[in-house]
């Protein structure tokens, strides 16, 4: 089988299940995962190369995709803001929206003394900021041991130094862990209300970790309140806090920060035009 024929085999299978753009994107990723070649190579310089693909493994992965298993959990990889991350089903898949949060920080901030990523998940934010040399010291925290392990692994894979802790930010122990002044806090905490599950796709609901995505409808802003409180206690003079948010709560989050004496509060939209990010100064 020629490389190009293998790509067509994968693509036409997925085209029966997904919209064209998704089928094409997944086909590129799965093709490269199994062959080590980018699709552009198959189309151009390696067009006539003959291979003996392990079709049983490819078919098994195609069947997983037919069941809406996320492609990132199949390849065990995710690209994020110039970094390649290793992930599995125990951590939330990094989203393009979160790249927007990282980009806002990179384009707005000079190098700071120390930075903390709260609810770090795969480590996508902290690893990316470390690669961009945005802080002398970077710390990442998550309640999930799987997230801690993933962040440590991704820091190693991307050759950056990050101190990673497993901790519940609602525990009193968090205060003793954060004794030194912080220059910058960044967080993409769980923010989708459980009542919003009806709008979610099967690949999210059936396979991604529930606790990394959803919050109780009765306390949808509890992470933002707690992290803002941590900022009150530990941010240095003119230290900043950056959040990724649920767009329906932008006004409420601004009010929380205002009532906790933050200043210069700003809302920024994502590439869909939705209120997706908030930043503020403390003191």
- Residue 280: is its pLDDT beyond 60? yes
Do residues 160 and 274 share a domain? yes
3-class secondary structure, 46: coil
DSSP-derived pairing of the beta strands 214-215 and 192-193: parallel
Whether 119 and 195 share a structural domain = yes
User: Is the per-residue pLDDT at 48 higher than 70?
Assistant: no
Asked, for residue 85, whether it belongs to a domain, the answer is no
Q: Is 102 helix (H, G, I), strand (E, B) or coil?
A: helix
Three-state DSSP class for 1? coil
Task: Name the residue range of residue 124's domain.
Answer: 91-282
In a shared domain, residues 23 and 112: no
Instruction: With respect to residue 108, please indicate whether it lies within any of the assigned structural domains.
Output: yes
**Judgement on whether residues 102 and 155 belong to the same structural domain of the protein:** yes
Q: How confident is the model at residue 46 (pLDDT cuts 50, 70, 90)?
A: low
43 has pLDDT over 90:
no
pLDDT digits over 61-114, tens only? 999 999 999 999 999 999 999 899 999 999 999 999 999 999 999 999 999 999
Both 48 and 153 in one domain: the answer is no
| Same domain as 110, residue 212 | yes
Whether 217 and 143 map to the same domain: the answer is yes
Quote the pLDDT of residue 54: 81
- Angle ∠(270,272,276) on CA atoms, nearest 5: 30
Q: CATH number of the domain that 260 lies in?
A: 3.40.50.150
Q: Is residue 175 part of a domain?
A: yes
Q: Within this chain, do residues 96 and 15 fall inside the same structural domain, yes or no?
A: no
Mean pLDDT over all residues of the chain? Answer: 93
Q: Are 145 and 169 in contact (CB under 8 A)?
A: no
Both tokens of residue 275?
A: 């209120």
Q: Does residue 76 lie in a domain region?
A: no
pTM, two decimal places? 0.93
Percent of the chain residues past pLDDT 70, beyond the cut: 96
Report in angstroms the alpha-carbon separations of 36 from 14, 51, 74, 75, 134. 20, 12, 15, 12, 32
Q: Are residues 187 and 133 in the same domain?
A: yes
* 63, 134: one domain: no
Q: Is residue 82 part of a domain?
A: no
Is residue 252 located within the same domain as residue 194? yes
CA distance 228 to 251: 15
* 63 in any annotated domain: yes
- Provide the terminal-to-terminal Cα distance of the chain, rounded to the nearest Å: 65
pLDDT one-digit tens code per residue, 148-199: 999 999 999 999 999 999 999 999 888 888 877 999 999 999 999 999 999 9
Give the number of domains in the chain.
Answer: 2
Res 41: pLDDT: 75
On whether both 144 and 261 belong to a single domain, the answer is: yes
Is 13 within a domain?
yes
Neighbours of 142 (CB within 10 A): 26
**Any domain includes 79:** no
């Amino acid at each position: 089988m020629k490389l190009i024929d293998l790509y067509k085999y994968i693509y036409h299978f997925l085209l029966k299940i997904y919209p064209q753009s998704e089928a094409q994107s997944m086909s590129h990723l799965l093709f490269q995962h199994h062959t080590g070649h980018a699709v552009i190579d198959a189309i151009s310089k390696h067009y006539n190369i003959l291979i003996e693909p392990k079709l049983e493994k490819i078919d098994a992965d195609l069947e997983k995709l037919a069941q809406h298993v996320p492609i990132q959990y199949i390849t065990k990889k995710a690209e994020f803001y110039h970094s390649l991350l290793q992930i599995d089903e125990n951590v939330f898949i990094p989203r393009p929206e979160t790249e927007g949060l990282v980009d806002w920080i990179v384009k707005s901030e000079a190098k700071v003394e120390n930075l903390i990523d709260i609810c770090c998940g795969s480590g996508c934010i902290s690893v990316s900021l470390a690669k961009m040399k945005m802080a002398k010291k970077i710390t990442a925290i998550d309640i999930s041991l799987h997230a801690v392990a993933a962040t440590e692994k991704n820091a190693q894979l991307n050759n950056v130094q990050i101190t990673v802790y497993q901790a519940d930010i609602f525990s009193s122990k968090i205060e003793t862990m954060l004794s030194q002044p912080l220059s910058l806090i960044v967080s993409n905490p769980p923010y989708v209300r459980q009542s919003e599950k009806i709008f979610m796709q099967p690949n999210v609901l059936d396979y991604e970790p529930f606790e990394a995505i959803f919050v109780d409808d009765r306390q949808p802003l509890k992470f933002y309140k707690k992290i803002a409180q941590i900022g009150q206690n530990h941010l240095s003079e003119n230290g900043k806090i950056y959040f990724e948010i649920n767009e329906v709560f932008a006004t409420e989050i601004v009010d929380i920060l205002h009532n906790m004496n933050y200043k210069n509060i700003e809302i920024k939209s994502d590439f869909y035009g939705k209120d997706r990010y908030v930043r503020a100064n403390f003191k």
